[in-house]
Amino acid sequence: MANIKTSEKKSKAQSMGMHTEVLTGRTQQKFFNPDEAENFYYFGTYDVDFNKRTDLDVMNMSAPEANKEIDNLMSQGYGTIVIKNPQGKHSLGVGILNKLNLIFEGSLGYFGMGSCDGPIVRINGRVGWSCAENLMAGKVVIEKNAGSCFGAAIRGGDLICKGSVGARTGIDMKGGTIIIGGDAGAFTGFMMQRGRIIILGDVGINLGDSMYDGTIFVGGEIGSYGSDAVDAELTSSDQDWLRRKLKVAEIGEDFDVSKMKKIVAGKKLWNYDNLEPTEKKGAI
Amino acid sequence: MCGIAGLIHRGKSSNVGSELQGMLQALKHRGEDSTGYALYGDTDGKNFIMRFKVGENVGEGSSSVMEDVSVYDERKKIVDQTLSEMGAKIIKEERTLPYSLRYEVDYETKDLLDFSQRIESIPGVEILSMGKSLEVIKDLGNAKMVCDRYSLDKLVGTHAIGHARMATESGVDIKSAHPFWGYPFSDVSVVHNGQLTNYWNNRRVLENKGMRFMSECDSELIAVYIAQKMREGASLEEGMKDSLTGLDGVFTYFVATKDSLGMAKDTMAAKPLVLYESDDLVAMGSEEIAIRSVLPQEIDTYDPFDGEVKVWQI
């Protein structure tokens, strides 16, 4: 098991510019110690060679069969796998806890790439609802559009959609970055807790509704703000970060980030530091 | 959960019965208590096609009570007699199943309200659809079972909508199955995925305006709601846009008329819909795999946004 220790001084991650949100109240700031990397052990992972490449045609496979075969190929050391004929099937590529280059030649249905930790994925098509839900680390790039609940509850990694996405993008997200090249639907960033969402196009109603924390950047028009979502100043470091991210994401590199809007939590709904009603009675 | 699917060919006809069967069968995991088809076939447009039932399917899982076939025969006789009294001439008659009938009727009127009220005043009789092109076929079981039972795979037409139902708020029977006819409008049908929370309030208002409800399925409200709006002079699209605020709850629904197909999505965008649109064909469904059954090649699809209404013509 990896060591978890409470940070007492500025961690390596922080010195790299990550984890910039200041956490207050009862929350505790805990990070993995990168110096302990050799002690990390992930169950069900394999040593793979990115130069060892193979194709997998899933036309006549069910999702569990296809996912088992991906796992089998990784166990044989294949580090680059090209999936042919996904045909909009649901739950493809879920639960991959490995470094892996995974390429889908076609579209996925619901829950594609759910609960993954580490793979670099390119989907040359569209994805249905709840793509990359619970993503922990890695990068998922979708060349076309995505359905609703895109990147629900992700904790890390980069999730990029070059087209437009449906409603509730980044709902309940706890970290990582979501980048949208087109428009996004209603309730984008609903109840998000950390992380960042970048939308180059327009966004629907109730943006950032009940967000706890995190940041949303919007390049186009905003349908309406949700409860407790407020504007914030777009700083020069924000702009630098946006340019870097858009470049790495191969999306909107020439986009004028200086005109983007920055939305954060107003924190009027926060009650972490308030006493519970019973505690209040005791205090009185 | 339920699944819905629809397609419209623009400028040509196709084997829509078979195509819709494939789309709905791909969605059978969303519910197979019942499956329904609203097919717009190629006809000469002279006569009305009346699909009606004189009883219920009391097969496995049904919530209906078993009746003797002689009861169905008696009801059919009364229907025939009532049609004759109204001056409606039966041109062609098909009895696919003991409880399910299809009539081609020569009837000179545009007002189907009185016609429908008289037919449906016969106990146990319900008109499933009435139109010059529309045929609503619905029964218990998944898409393939219903298609095989009614030999729908050879039906040629321009457009169709359908529904795979997981019964949640009303019984497992034909009367609660989708699609619903937009009574009393010729050739109007509706399928819906979602829940409506102001069903009873709206139902009371609409019943006071003379509209009829045959089931307690909330989805029937959409058909009646839009029919009432059209009765008041609204276009199909206007009626659908009005429904976004008039209906409360979560929904994605399709409406079809003789020459058009429309979709509407609630303002929360809580129910799924994937859409493919080209110059020749529009195909949509609750999941992309439904569209893939008619378009297996790689295609560009998208999710319509919250509060979106779209209507396409043939």
- B302 close to A (CB below 8 A): yes
Strand B100-106 with B89-97, pairing: antiparallel
Residue B287 near residue B27, CB atoms below 8 Å: yes
* Chain B environment of A126 (Cβ under 8 Å): 288, 300-302
Residues with Cβ within 8 Å of residue A55, at least 6 apart in sequence: A81, A82, A83, A84
Tens digit of each residue's pLDDT (9 = 90 or more) over A3-19: 444 444 555 556 655 55
Residue to mutate among A145, A180, A224, with most B CBs inside 10 A, is A145
Give the tens place of pLDDT for each residue, B25-52: 999 999 999 999 999 999 988 999 999 9
- Percent of chain B, pLDDT > 90? 75
**pLDDT at residue A169 in the model:** 97
Task: Find where tokens 């409470």 sit.
Answer: A6
Whole-number average pLDDT of chain A: 87
B14 to B10, B19, B20, B158, B290: CA distances (angstroms): 10, 8, 11, 6, 17
* B292 has a chain A CB within 8 A of its CB: yes
Residues 6+ apart with CB under 8 A from A64: none
Predicted confidence (pLDDT) per residue in A31-83, tens digit? 556 666 666 666 778 999 999 999 999 999 999 999 999 999 999 999 999 99
Mean pLDDT of B179-192: 90
| Residue B262 to chain A, least CA–CA distance (Å) | 19
**For A214-241, what is the mean pLDDT?**
96
pLDDT of amino acid A4:
40
pLDDT of residue A21: 58
pLDDT band at B58 (very low <50, low <70, confident <90, very high): confident
Q: How many CB pairs under 8 A join A and B?
A: 73
- Which pLDDT belongs to residue A32? 59
- Which pLDDT does position A284 carry in this prediction? 57
Could you tell me which residues are beta bridge partners of residue A30?
Answer: A6
What whole-number distance in Å separates Cα of residue A52 and Cα of residue A73? 10
| Three-state SS letters, B250-274 | EEEEEEECCCEEEEEECCCCCCCCE
Percent of chain A with pLDDT over 90: 75
Q: State the pLDDT at residue A250.
A: 87
Could you give the domains of chain B?
A: 3-313 (3.60.20.10)
A216-244 mean pLDDT? 96
The mean pLDDT of B278-304, rounded to a whole number, is 93
- Amino acid B110: pLDDT: 63
- As a whole number of angstroms, the distance between CA A135 and CA A161 comes to 14
Q: What is the pLDDT of residues B249-267, one digit of tens each?
A: 999 999 999 999 999 999 9
Position A40 scores a pLDDT of: 61
For position B88, what pLDDT does the model report?
Answer: 94
Q: In the predicted model, what is the mean pLDDT of residues A174-202?
A: 96
Measured in whole angstroms, the distance separating CA B299 from the mean position of its chain's CA atoms is 28
Please state which of the ranges A29-38, B165-174, B179-188 shows the lowest mean pLDDT.
Answer: A29-38
pTM comes to 0.84
Topology of A132-271 in CATH? Pectate Lyase C-like (2.160.20)
**pLDDT, tens digit (0-9, with 9 covering 90-100), for A102-146:** 999 999 999 999 999 999 999 999 999 999 999 999 999 999 999
pLDDT of residue B227: 87
- Which of the pair, B108 or A210, is modelled with greater confidence? A210
Instruction: Flag if A109 and B287 touch (Cβ within 8 Å).
Output: yes
Query: In which band, very low, low, confident or very high, does the pLDDT at B217 lie, cut at 50, 70 and 90?
Result: confident
Taking the CB of residue A249, how many other CB atoms lie within 10 A of it?
20
In chain B, residues with a C-beta closer than 8 Å to the C-beta of A224 are: none
Q: Flag whether pLDDT at A191 surpasses 90.
A: yes
Give residue B152's pLDDT: 95
d(CA A149, CA B216): 32
With an 8 Å Cβ cutoff, are B302 and A163 in contact?
A: yes
**pLDDT category, B219, cuts 50, 70, 90?**
confident
* β-sheet bridge partners, residue B265: B252
User: Which residue in the set A89, A109, A167 is minimally distant from B269, CB to CB?
Assistant: A167
CA distances from B279 to A152, A249, B34, B40 (A): 34, 33, 32, 19
pLDDT at residue A22, rounded to an integer: 57
Between strands A174-180 and A158-161, the pairing is parallel
Going across the sheet that includes A158-161, the strands are: A49-57, A78-84, A101-105, A117-123, A137-142, A158-161, A174-180, A194-199, A215-218, A261-265, A229-232
B84: pLDDT confidence band, cut at 50, 70 and 90? very high
Q: How far, in Å, CA of A111 to CA of A125, rounded? A: 15
Distance from CA of A208 to the nearest CA of B (A): 14
Handedness of CA B79, B211, B223, B270 (dihedral sign): negative
Residue of A nearest to B270 (CA): A167
Residue B2 a catalytic site member: yes
Least confident interval from B82-86, B189-193, B267-271? B267-271
Q: Which of B2, B5, B137, B255 is catalytic?
A: B2
Residue A25 has pLDDT above 60, yes or no: no
Q: Residues of B with CB below 8 A from A148's CB?
A: 269, 272, 303
Structure confidence at residue A17 (pLDDT): 56
Q: What is the mean pLDDT of residues B279-308?
A: 93
Closest listed residue to residue B1, CA positions, set A129, A131, A206? A129
Kindly determine whether residue A164 and residue B274, on different chains, have CB atoms separated by under 8 Å: no
pLDDT at residue B226 greater than cutoff 70 = yes
The answer to whether the Cβ–Cβ distance between A126 and B268 falls below 8 Å is no
Instruction: Please compute the mean of the pLDDT values over residues B64-69 and round it to a whole number.
Output: 81
pLDDT at position A5: 45
The residues that bridge with A141 in the sheet, in sequence order, are A122, A160
% of chain B beyond a pLDDT of 70:
100
pLDDT at A278: 67
Global ipTM: 0.81
Q: What is the pLDDT of residue B28?
A: 93
The confidence band for B124, taking pLDDT boundaries of 50, 70 and 90, is very high
pLDDT at B167: 84
- Residues from chain B contacting residue A147 (CB–CB below 8 Å): 272, 274, 303
